Structure 1
Amino acid sequence: MSVEQLIARDLSPAEPIVDWLDFDFDTRQVHAGEYPDLNTGLRVPPIALSAGYVFDSFDDQVDRFAGRSIDPIYSRQGNPTNSVAEERLASLEGGTVSVAVSSGQAAISSALFTLAQGGDHIVSTASIYGGTRILFGRSFKRFGIEVDYVWDADDDAEWERAIRPNTKAIYTETIPNPRNDVTDLRRIAAVAAKYHLPLVVDNTVGTPAIIRPFEHGANIVVHSTTKFLTGHGAAVGGAIVDGGTFDWEAAERAGRSFPLITAAPRPGLGSMLDRFGTGAYARAVREAVVNDIGPSLSPFNGFLLHQGMETLSLRMERHVDSSLAIAAWLEEQPEVTSVDYTGLPSNPLYDLAQRDYAGRTGSVFGVTVRGGIDGAREFVNGLRVFSRMTGIGDTRSMIIHPLSSTHATFAPEINERLGITPGLLRLSVGLESARDLITDLRAGLDRVR
């Protein structure tokens, strides 16, 4: 066929895909949220380093400030680079809308401040990240929001005692650290539904590559994107994802008020629920909390986040494979008294881990060595590949002693109930060779007496 004949056939290129909803997870983690650059044809969405945005007209400015337009006014509310990460994460988690913020702590705070105010109450499962417990016990307390803990999530009577008329949310984590004691989300979601409460779930350690909380009844998901989602430890960030599933009107009828979502902010303007439907909660987070308090994400860190998510499933596969091998090896070592990894058949939560997590419970877990704190010190000081540092979810493996760091300010009786003992170490298994990591751990254990 001649060139002229080919031209005559008018075989114009197919239109680019803009909606990745029906594609597989691995495809969406690469493409969801991206947009074509019409100026230069850049393949990778660029970093939009601009504090503000030009209005199309006087009326466009009026509409944006009146809340009739979703276009941003200022980068405190949103940024094109961060929007790529937000849309991608919402797609991977199976939510409606995501809001990126400056850190994981900012995500937890923004998520819950949208639901609760001074005089309100939150119920949390007891086993959660130590930094979150500090946040609840210090800053939330100063703001007049009380938090109570449920120690046995299977105990209906304990939930009954904990939940009050002014309770505004239930909070939990998929895979709590440091002890990897996975959560039965279905059970907690049933409790939340019974009491007309939104269930907020931190999926930092799980990630949507392992478990998607909305599929188990959660209503809101939060992340420290600093960890596995970004994956390389070079950028701090956080995110809130709205599942779009909570019935705010039914909650109001049941006596639970969420004014930032269901009340009109001013005469002539509908509520967030009226205007944004299944994305109402996320819009309230963005407009009424993040915009006001200001924990916005740097677009540079947003760029690193959506770049990191492109390889999430591949990295998590390696993280988990290595963790399973290392946890099984550690369990056989004479210097080790216990390994807290629910992917092991010996763990009491193994059946739950198989049912909801396919036995792949992340790469953050606890190991207890003999000799108490002295044994822990010798073990940690003998390591050369594991980095002695705080943090999890990095390409690099890390270790820390919780009792003297993340849990150092807690009362002894609280740490005892949480299982934070003098000999407990938290491991975060990275992407190095499992063989090399085991060799390093053996060298550390050789120093334990």
Structure 2
Amino acid sequence: IEALIDDKTKAIFFETLTNPSIDVADIAAITAIAKKHGILTIVDNTVATPVLCRPLEHGVDVVVHSASKYTTGQGLAIGGIMVERHGLVDFIKGNARYPQFNEADESYHGLVYVDVPLPLFTLRARLSLLRDLGAVVSPFNSWLFIQGIETLSLRMREHSRNAQIVAEFLESHPMVKKVNYPGLKSNSNYANAQRYFENGMSSGLLSFEVESFEKAKQIVDATKLFSLVVNIGDSKSIITHPASTTHQQLSNEELVACGVPSGLIRLSIGLEASSDLIDDLAQAFGA
């Protein structure tokens, strides 16, 4: 990351848990690089949620979430969340990388954002960007998010428990080449998950590889309990073949380079009985 920084760099943007390669970022290492160069860090914490990971405690400046995933838990509403850390104004004030916060905004009668005693990053997003683009969440969607947040902690524990059981099943299956889930001790991300995630719980998202594009599609099509859609974080379990859906525009070489080989299958493990999910996968492997 550090080698890519130049005088035009505005932020380091990363995910706490990546989708669909299922890697866990070393948050402290990334924020240390950013602070050294006076750069903002913005992290997408959608998959882990604040229940499992709290990036602000590890030095991140701004945290964002797609609330359409675990926050609602039903895939019923589109929206987002943005939270900034305390004291961010002191970091941005006088920082030459961020003139839009330090110079007068003529569209607001010369307002200088760093002079306002409010969270300035989210303030400018609301006053300027949302004003111009109009991407404002509806009251009904907000109400749906509130209902989802009430059960978020319970759901994240159960998602993580179910995913751990399914990941262990997949790791032992002869047709599976590799399982990507940070809760597995054999996984290269296990140490980071133990460091940054609550009690090592690793959310409900996992992926695994089979021998080929064709075999992956066959397995996906043969499942009965899993829903074949591209969302994640629903209470129901979801199965996706990225190479033929979300990443279909990429070549085989590009798929491998971004950690999504053609035989990769992504699972968003829901709240059903783990034994039922395993039975469905087992029959799909044999189909």
1:23-34 equivalent positions in 2, closer than 5 A: none
Name the SS for the 1:441 alignment partner.
Answer: helix
Residues 1:415 and 2:250 are matched in the alignment:
no
Alignment match, 1:318 = 158
Name the SS for the 2:14 alignment partner.
Answer: strand
Name the SS for the 1:287 alignment partner.
Answer: helix
Residues 1:273 and 2:117 are matched in the alignment:
no
Q: Deviations over 1:415-441 (max 9, x none)?
A: 212221121100000111111111111
Q: CA deviation at 1:410?
A: 2.8
Name the SS for the 1:223 alignment partner.
Answer: strand
Q: Quote the Cα distance in structure 2 between the aligned partners of 1:405 and 1:381.
A: 13
Q: CA deviation at 1:231?
A: 0.7
Residues 1:164 and 2:22 are matched in the alignment:
no
1:37-52 equivalent positions in 2, closer than 5 A: none
Q: Deviations over 1:229-279 (max 9, x none)?
A: 1111111111211223435556634x31231x22232497542221234x1
Q: Quote the Cα distance in structure 1 between the aligned partners of 2:213 and 2:35.
A: 43
Out of 268, 271, 275, which is 1:431 matched to? 271
Out of 82, 87, 109, which is 1:240 matched to? 82
Code of the aligned partner of 1:420: V
Name the SS for the 2:116 alignment partner.
Answer: helix
Q: Quote the Cα distance in structure 1 between the aligned partners of 2:256 and 2:223.
A: 27
**Where in structure 1 are there 5+ consecutive unaligned residues?**
1-149, 151-158
> 1:237·1:297 contact (CA, 8 Å) conserved in 2?
yes
Q: Quote the Cα distance in structure 1 between the aligned partners of 2:267 and 2:85.
A: 31
Code of the aligned partner of 1:232: Q
Residues 1:406 and 2:257 are matched in the alignment:
no
Alignment match, 1:343 = 183
Alignment match, 1:362 = 203
Out of 388, 397, 401, which is 2:237 matched to? 397
Code of the aligned partner of 2:124: A
Name the SS for the 2:281 alignment partner.
Answer: helix
Task: Name the % identity.
Answer: 38
Code of the aligned partner of 1:349: N
- The higher-RCO structure (CA 8 Å, 6+ apart) is 2
> 1:319·1:429 contact (CA, 8 Å) conserved in 2?
yes
- Structure 1 residues 269 and 419 mapped into 2: Cα distance closer, same or farther (>3 Å)? closer
Q: CA deviation at 1:381?
A: 1.6
Name the SS for the 2:7 alignment partner.
Answer: coil
> 1:249·1:262 contact (CA, 8 Å) conserved in 2?
no
Name the SS for the 1:164 alignment partner.
Answer: coil
RMSD: 1.7
> 1:363·1:428 contact (CA, 8 Å) conserved in 2?
yes
Code of the aligned partner of 1:264: A
